[in-house]
Amino acid sequence: MGARTARRIDLGVGVGVGDSVDVAVEGNPSSPIQVVGTIVMPSGPGQRLGEGGLITRAGIYRLGATDDVLTDDLFVRLTPGTDPDRVAATLPGGANGIFAIPFDAPSDVVNFGRVDALPTMLGMLVAFVAASMLAHTLISAVRRRRRDLAVLKTLGLVRHQLGTVVRGQALTLVTIALLVGTPIGVAIGRVAWSALARQLGVLVVPVVPTRLLEVLAAAAVGLALLASVLPARSAARTPPAEVLHST
């Protein structure tokens, strides 16, 4: 039985494996049928995943069905460019009641695909905000630590070394954010996907894109270095005599 159907029947209480439900073929009395599992239904356009049920031919006969109301479905995957009608004609009985119907994605998958770009757009927005906040933090730190930077420059640090100090601060902030945020983000993503998959009636198999996370981590480091360019220049241009004289 489809997961959605199993949740919806029995006045919203739902049924599980081992429970029985009353099933009837039109024109015949209902009979209890035991639920032996939940499945992802091979639905088509306009249909929803997790809705409906499957029963064996022997079971449908026991409910009073006859051959004239039964149909046989064969699901195949064709290579691009293959003529479905030509393949159907090669099957047994190909000219007698077998039709090739192009398979389209279920409506749930189509609806989900319409917002497929949303996570990317949201991620780009978050990255922009994070880079802006990092740059602001570094600029504020340079302004607050002008005297410390002036002392370091007086002690012998050259321009590029002061810039390295600022870049090191940026990398430290990003590293801490990655170490804390990555596990939390993965955990939240797994929980969110599991809830969505159960709602759709599909298999709950969260996948962690390890390579993508590695790429994003490298991109975060590069973004941090980019955000530190202006603060590093500002730190390198700190006039020690003027700053120390004013303090």
- pLDDT tens per residue, range 150-161: 777 777 777 778
* pLDDT band (50, 70, 90) for residue 179: very high
* pLDDT band (50, 70, 90) for residue 95: very low
The mean-pLDDT minimum among 21-25, 112-116, 128-132, 141-145 falls in: 112-116
Mean per-residue pLDDT for 168-191?
A: 89
The larger pLDDT score, comparing residue 66 to residue 45, is at: 66
The larger pLDDT score, comparing residue 101 to residue 23, is at: 23
Mean per-residue pLDDT for 9-23?
A: 71
> DSSP assignment of the chain, as one string?
-BHHHHHHTTTTT---TT-EEEE--TTS--EEEE----B-----TT--TT-S----HHHHHHTT--GGG--------PPTT--HHHHHHTSTTTTSS---------HHHHHHHHTTTHHHHHHHHHHHHHHHHHHHHHHHHHHHTHHHHHHHHHTT--HHHHHHHHHHHHHHHHHHHHHHHHHHHHHHHHHHHHHHHHHHTS-------HHHHHHHHHHHHHHHHHHTHHHHHHHHT--HHHHHHH-
pLDDT at 58 over 70: yes
The mean-pLDDT minimum among 35-39, 184-188, 240-244 falls in: 240-244
Share of the chain above pLDDT 90, in %: 3
The larger pLDDT score, comparing residue 84 to residue 212, is at: 212
pLDDT at 153: 76
Domain boundaries, the chain: 117-246
